[in-house]
Structure 1
Amino acid sequence: MSSNKYRSTPLFGGALVCDLPDKFADVSKLREVPDNQEVWIDKDGFTSIIFDITERVGPAGSGLESDGRALTVHLEDLVGSDIDTVKVWNTTETQFTTLDEDLPAYTLIATQTPKSSSKESSSAPDFTALILTLLRLEKVSTDVLITINVPHIKGEYDEDEVDLALGKQGELIGDAVEYAAKIWESFKIRDWNLFNEV
Structure 2
Amino acid sequence: MSSYRNIPLYGGAVTCDLPKRFADVSKLRQVPDHQEVWIDKDGFTSIIFDITERVGEPGSGPEIDGRAMTTHLEDMVGSDINTVKIWNTAETEFTRMQDLKLPAYTLIATQTPHAASDQASAPDFTAITMTLLRLEKEDTDILITINVPHIKGEYDADEVDLELGKQGKLIGDAVEIAARIWETFEIKDWGLFGETARHH
Specify the SS of the correspondent of 1:183.
helix
Distance in 2 (alpha carbons) for counterparts of 1:18 and 1:121? 35
Letter in 2 for 1:154: K
CA distance, structure 2, for counterparts of residue 13 and residue 66 of structure 1: 31
- The letter for the 2-side match of 1:116 is A
Query: 2:60: which partner in 1?
Result: 62
The one-character-per-residue Cα deviations of 1:70-109 (angstroms, maximum 9, x if unpaired) are 0000000000000000000000000000013510000000
Number of aligned residue pairs? 195
User: Which residue number corresponds to residue 27 of structure 1?
Assistant: 25
Return the match for 1:99 from 97, 100, 104: 97
Map Cα deviations across residues 50-70 of structure 1 (whole Å, 9 max, x no partner): 000000011211111110000
Q: Which residue of 2 aligns with 1:74?
A: 72
CA distance in 1, matches of 2:25, 2:82: 29
Distance, in Å, in 2 between the alignment partners of 1:161 and 1:100 is: 35
SS of the equivalent of 1:35 reads coil
Q: Taking structure 2 as the reference length, what is the TM-score of the superposition? A: 0.96
Q: Which amino acid aligns with 1:192?
A: W
SS of match in other structure, 2:143: strand
Q: What's the TM-score once normalised by structure 1's chain length?
A: 0.97
**Residue 127 of structure 2 aligns to a residue in which SS?**
strand
Question: d(CA) in 2 for partners of 1:9 and 1:162?
Answer: 31
* Alignment gaps of 5+ in structure 2: none
Match of 2:126 in 1: 128
By how many angstroms is 1:156 displaced?
Answer: 0.3
Distance 2:155 2:97 in 1: 35
What is the CA–CA distance in structure 1 between the aligned matches of 2:184 and 2:33, rounded to whole Å?
22
> Could you tell me which amino acid in structure 1 is paired with residue 190 of structure 2?
W
Which runs of no fewer than 5 residues in structure 1 stay unpaired? none
Task: Report the secondary structure of 1:99's partner residue.
Answer: helix
User: Aligned residue for 2:47?
Assistant: 49
1:40 match: 38
Q: What residue in structure 2 maps to residue 181 of structure 1?
A: 179
Q: Distance in 2 between matches of 1:65 and 1:161?
A: 33
- The Cα RMSD (Å) is 0.6
Distance (whole Å) between structure 2 residues aligned to residue 59 and residue 76 of structure 1: 17
SS of 2:42 mapped into structure 1: coil
CA distance in 2, matches of 1:46, 1:6: 18
Take 2:148 and 2:112, find their aligned partners in 1: how far apart are those partners?
12
Residues 102-121 of structure 1, C-alpha deviations (whole Å, 9 max, x = no match): 10000000000000000x32
Distance 2:194 2:43 in 1: 35
Q: Which runs of 4+ in 1 moved over 4 A?
A: none
One-letter amino acid of the structure 2 residue matched with residue 149 of structure 1: N
Query: Percent identical across equivalent pairs?
Result: 74
